[in-house]
Amino acid sequence: MTTAALTGDYTLDIAHTRIGFVARHTIGPKVRGQFEEFEGGAHLDGDDPSKSNVTLTIQTGSIQTRNPQRDDMLRGRFLKLHDYPIITFVSTGARQVDETTFELTGDLTIRGVTNPVTVAFTRIGAEHDPQGDVRVHFRGSATINRKDWGVGWAGAAGLVGKEVALELDVAAIRRI
């Protein structure tokens, strides 16, 4: 399917989307996790990708690393869940690099702090589903410094790396 044929408004297919992260723990292997509750949408402009936009809202409390004690610490001490129940991303620009590669720049807000982030995305696929709707699939990644958003806790100083790799495996649907 051509990029121009993808023009339209999309919603995230949350059953087929993963919003994940990887962080270095200095006394063990990397910690991998993801957020279980989120919603978002996009407008894709296949004729002029710079006119495309994306919004994403993540429920902070839905963080999962398969370790309940660590998850509680991340929710409370690192992400301050009670004060900041959501993480948001709102795009501010999009650029097509080649036929299937795009750069999406936007404002990422964590713990009430907003900083720009650029995510490199690759379009993995696009097709019509059995209902006739259009489904697109993108994979993206970016590396951020968690300290730029004030994410941390003095008790963990030196134990958790400051760089966090964001991993996005996104499926979106345009209803016909």
Does the structure show a pLDDT above 80 at 106?
yes
pTM tops 0.85: yes
> Which tokens go with 136?
């697109």
127-152 residue pLDDT tens: 999 999 999 999 999 999 999 999 97
Q: In the Cβ-directed half-sphere of 60, how many Cα atoms lie within 13 Å?
A: 22
Query: In which band, very low, low, confident or very high, does the pLDDT at 161 lie, cut at 50, 70 and 90?
Result: confident
- Helix (H/G/I), strand (E/B), else coil: 151: coil
CATH at residue 50: 2.40.128.110
> From CA 135, how far away is CA 15, in angstroms rounded?
13
What domain count does the chain have?
1
Does the structure show a pLDDT above 70 at 153?
no
Name the residue range of residue 130's domain.
4-174
Instruction: Burial-class residue 119 by CB neighbours within 10 Å (0-12, 13-18, 19+).
Output: buried
Does the structure show a pLDDT above 60 at 158?
no
Round the average pLDDT of the chain to a whole number and report it. Answer: 93
What average pLDDT does the segment 53-74 reach? 95
> From CA 104, how far away is CA 173, in angstroms rounded?
19
